[in-house]
Amino acid sequence: MAFANVNHTTVHYEMIGDASARKVIVFSNSLGTDFRIWLPLFDELEDDVSILLYDSRGHGLSGLGPSPFTMDDLVDDLIGLVEHVGISKAVFCGLSVGGLIVQGLWRKRPDLVRRMILCDTAPKIGTADVWNARIDAIEKGGLESISQSVMERWFTPAFRTERPEELSGYRLMMERQSISGYVQTCKALRDTDFTDVLPTITVPALFVVGDEDGSTPVDLVRRAADGVPGSRFEVIAECGHIPCVEQPEALARLIRSFTGKP
């Protein structure tokens, strides 16, 4: 485990390989998870890829920092961490809110971005009413009060039936997140719209979505891809919102083909 003080926040991260390598991928996790969701990918990626993992603010072992925080703070955390470990340019892969963080990174520091992989995400996710209702439910009943419905959006019925131990583990991961960190990230999602950022993206961009994603449906992600000139759009079959857990081999194949040339 490694920790850094970034923007007055303790950030938990792991740098695997050489930060100065030509092939570096930086992964940004989704709401209610930590960087362990990316671990199933590792056996499927090439040996010459260096990887930076981190827990976003208010998740996993990372701190809350000065509160309340916004999407700009989440983006600045990633920028600060990348600079801390010495990465000058990388492929950035973000899932859900992590994908919004990557879009915000492009808006602020395009010089850091070699390519981007945007998984199960969009420039705007959900409505104010949806996020306010979720925040209200959590403040009244805790994360346990919404975790069942979240699992139904994250994972396909087949996963929930055939892989109950993993389902239980990911539910525990979500329920053990900081309530304040989760709620503040919900507010950041509620208040973010990067629609105007998409047409400015000039690096190669890959959009990926599970065909049974209950949080960011296929059509939402397809519209996002349509907003980026020359982007690539892929649907992973028999997959929900978290492809790195449910279909890691399929996601890794897409990453390998997309990042084949440094």
Q: Are the beta carbons of 223 and 216 closer than 8 angstroms?
A: no
| Residue 62: closest CA among 177, 144, 161 | 177
* CA dist., res. 65 & res. 58, Å (int): 8
* CA dist., res. 134 & res. 145, Å (int): 10
For residue 134, give the DSSP letter.
H
Q: Tell me, what's the pLDDT at 247?
A: 97
Question: Domain coordinates of the chain in residue numbers?
Answer: 2-258
pTM of the shown model: 0.97
End-to-end Cα distance, the chain: 27
Label residue 74 exposed, middle or buried (CB < 10 Å: 0-12, 13-18, 19+): buried
Q: How many residues does the chain have?
A: 262
Q: Tell me, what's the pLDDT at 262?
A: 42
In the chain, the amino acid numbered 95 is L
Taking the CA of residue 35 as centre, how many other CA atoms within 13 Å lie in the half-sphere pointing to its CB?
22
Each residue's pLDDT tens digit in the chain (262 positions)?
A: 899 999 999 999 999 999 999 899 999 999 999 999 999 998 888 888 999 999 999 999 999 999 899 999 999 999 999 999 999 999 999 999 999 999 999 999 999 999 999 999 999 999 999 999 999 999 999 999 999 999 999 999 999 999 999 999 999 999 999 999 999 999 999 999 999 999 999 999 999 999 999 999 999 999 999 999 999 999 999 999 999 999 999 999 999 999 985 4
The CA-based dihedral angle spanning residues 132, 137, 142, 148, taken in that order and rounded to the nearest 10 degrees? -110
The enclosing H or E element of 54 equals strand 50-54
Query: In which residue are the tokens 């994972």 written?
Result: 155
Supply φ then ψ for residue 125, to 5 degrees: -120, 120
Fold type of domain 2-258: Rossmann fold (3.40.50)
